Structure 1
Amino acid sequence: MTVRRVDWVSPARFAPFLTACDDDEQLAWDLYEWNARVASALFECFHHTEVLLRNSMMTRLSTIHPLDYPWQQALESVVKATERRMDATTKVATPDAIISELTLGFWTNLLEQRPANEELWRKHLRHVFPGSPGTREAVHKAVTDMRNLRNRCAHQDSLLDFDPGIELKKLLSLVEWIDPHAREWIEGIQSVSAIALARPVPPVRDVVVIAATTETIDMYERVAAYVCGNDRSIAQVTHVGFYLNKQIEPYFPRVEERIVPARWNLEEVKRLSLSDAPADRDLAKVMGYCLKNGWEPGAQVQVFLLSPKKASSTTKRQGPIIHEKSGRGSAFVKNPRYFAHSALVAADNTTHLS
């Protein structure tokens, strides 16, 4: 048997994997190694996306007159990049060499909310993302999310609270905003999906319970879906539960598919409704329902397609799980909470889940 020692990675870093495996150290190592493979596979996608992003932005920026933007805001980054890539003989750094040295943070900063960037976006950078919702804020958020996850992977942090498949879809949506053909290419070579499916230990807490509203329940009952912002990190789960009015509802629909739509508007509803793929048509129904009920076109969301309440794949209980505590701050679910499927079936009240 291969020897593996916790002090190689530190007890603190290893702790989440032990917890996920009920303190089985052998399984925890398998999960730790899987986590590293997921991070590595995501890095391949980050690599291609970052190169596409910076080259596409630079192609557009190269048309700008030097006095049209206060480049001194980022001058230090450019100077340092020039110094690092300066040819020893000519004492000159080529534009391509400089661009390759500039960090993702440099390009993200050009999309930040600041007066100088507003005109830069309006006149130039919006054309880099023709498939986007059309706002600088939406693109900045997508690029920032990519940067944050890339940094998490680079620091070898746990990804157990993330769904690798959803993070991939968010990344592919950003790529599609720039060029749909680039999305097809990256999607065709990525290995994230296969590695995610090969998770050696399924999540013990495989049901996420959401703090719901009456609108949340109405959406589920009408179109069998749950929709939230794509910045909400929800781990891999098999089922969803709803907490409303001091109780967990007595049904837990199965997650049939999780989708991060690249577009969210009526034109996309029409396109998807004509698709041969059932999931596309289901997404069209959900998107159409949301747009008719107050969701803004261009919203960045993730969609959980769920089993209907009467479906055999939806777990049902005799009655709801009651939360008996009251008073300020006593809500049982505020942010998403995870539970074992078996615990939700057996619990009489929320004290059994604490």
Structure 2
Amino acid sequence: MERALSSERIEPYLADAGGDFDLAWEFYQWNLRLVGALMPLISDVEVTLRNTIHRQLTAQFGTPKWWSSPKLLLDDETREMIGDVVRKHRKKLGRGIEGPGRIVADLTFGVWVNLLSKGATTATQQTVNYDENLWRKTLMHGFRVGNETNARGSPKRPIRRHVHQAAANLQALRNAAVHHRKISDGIRQPGKPPEEPRIPLADVVESSIELLGWMNPDLANLHRGPTALTQELDNRPAP
């Protein structure tokens, strides 16, 4: 098994098991079960997030191909990620075989996380302010804190940095899960050095459900209470 998995991959599980390979293998299998139990939540949040942002940007720029609007200023990283997908489907889009939905479905989770950030700069040092140009103008209207209202009677919206942080944490968890890395000890804090304390898995799950609830409370409620994930978290192997 060590030859198949590599000593580097099995080493963290051996550490948990105090060098007992049989127990390390149980930890490894448990981690795989955690990944499987997480996928429904990850899928629901990712799909809902991209559709929420897509709807808001379609309304703001007046076209479902919002990425092609000359009014949209993107940072270099986001532009490149979107451009790669658009170029991949250009011929089929031109012939009408595929629509904008194909582009939206193929964009990576990182694109949506970037669009929720405060912004960045281009290679020419042009400032890209997503907080002002995207969040405050349109994206915030795709998120709501329950049925709460503010002093003006308008729906209460979550703070952009809280939305972005929850999305970034879930992206980190998703990437770790799909690359078969250990997630039972939580995830590294996005953008922070590896030596920083990890975010507990339960905290990432809780913030992800909260993020989903800001977009679709009914769907979020399906992930609250006892689930396959909460049951699996209680099944940690013991010596």
Fold conserved (TM > 0.5)?
yes
Match of 1:52 among 48, 53, 63: 48
Distance 1:172 1:124, change over 3 A: same
Match of 1:172 among 204, 209, 218: 209
Letter of the structure 1 residue corresponding to residue 41 of structure 2:
C
Following superposition, the deviation at residue 79 of structure 1 comes to 3.3
2:118 maps to 113
2:7 maps to 11
Answer yes or no: is the 8 Å Cα contact 1:31–1:200 preserved in 2: yes
Task: Give the total of aligned pairs.
Answer: 198
Distance 1:57 1:50, change over 3 A: same
Distance 1:24 1:135, change over 3 A: same
Which whole-Å deviations, capped at 9, do the CAs of 1:35-92 have from their partners, x for residues lacking one? 1111222123111110000001111111113344225854433333234345399265
Query: Which structure 1 residue ranges, 4+ long, deviate > 6 Å from structure 2?
Result: none
Answer yes or no: is the 8 Å Cα contact 1:130–1:178 preserved in 2: yes
Letter of the structure 2 residue corresponding to residue 116 of structure 1:
N
1:347 maps to none
Instruction: Tell me, in whole angstroms, the C-alpha distance in 2 between the residues paired with 1:89 and 1:124.
Output: 28
Match of 1:70 among 73, 89, 92: 73
Larger helix share, 1 or 2: 2
In structure 1, stretches of 5+ residues that fail to align are 203-354
Instruction: Tell me, in whole angstroms, the C-alpha distance in 2 between the residues paired with 1:103 and 1:136.
Output: 20
Instruction: Tell me, in whole angstroms, the C-alpha distance in 1 between the residues paired with 2:226 and 2:46.
Output: 16
Distance 1:196 1:189, change over 3 A: closer
Compare CA radii of gyration and give the structure with the larger one.
1
1:198 maps to 235
The secondary structure found in structure 2 opposite 1:64 is helix
Following superposition, the deviation at residue 192 of structure 1 comes to 1.1
In structure 2, stretches of 5+ residues that fail to align are 62-68, 120-127, 146-155, 187-199
Distance 1:189 1:80, change over 3 A: farther
Answer yes or no: is the 8 Å Cα contact 1:45–1:190 preserved in 2: no
Matched, 1:129 2:133: no
Following superposition, the deviation at residue 133 of structure 1 comes to 6.0
Letter of the structure 1 residue corresponding to residue 100 of structure 2:
P
2:183 maps to 159
Match of 2:173 among 149, 159, 169: 149
Match of 1:80 among 84, 89, 107: 84
TM-score (norm 2): 0.73
Which whole-Å deviations, capped at 9, do the CAs of 1:136-185 have from their partners, x for residues lacking one? 21111111111111111122222242244333212111111212112013
Answer yes or no: is the 8 Å Cα contact 2:173–2:183 preserved in 1: no
Larger strand share, 1 or 2: 1
More relative contact order in 1 or in 2 (CA 8 Å, sep 6+)? 2
Letter of the structure 1 residue corresponding to residue 235 of structure 2:
A
Instruction: Tell me, in whole angstroms, the C-alpha distance in 2 between the residues paired with 1:60 and 1:169.
Output: 25
Instruction: Tell me, in whole angstroms, the C-alpha distance in 2 between the residues paired with 1:181 and 1:27.
Output: 40
Answer yes or no: is the 8 Å Cα contact 1:164–1:196 preserved in 2: no
TM-score (norm 1): 0.51
Answer yes or no: is the 8 Å Cα contact 1:48–1:186 preserved in 2: no
Identity of aligned residues (%): 27
Answer yes or no: is the 8 Å Cα contact 1:42–1:192 preserved in 2: yes
What RMSD, in angstroms, separates the aligned Cα atoms of the two structures?
Answer: 2.5
Letter of the structure 2 residue corresponding to residue 156 of structure 1:
H
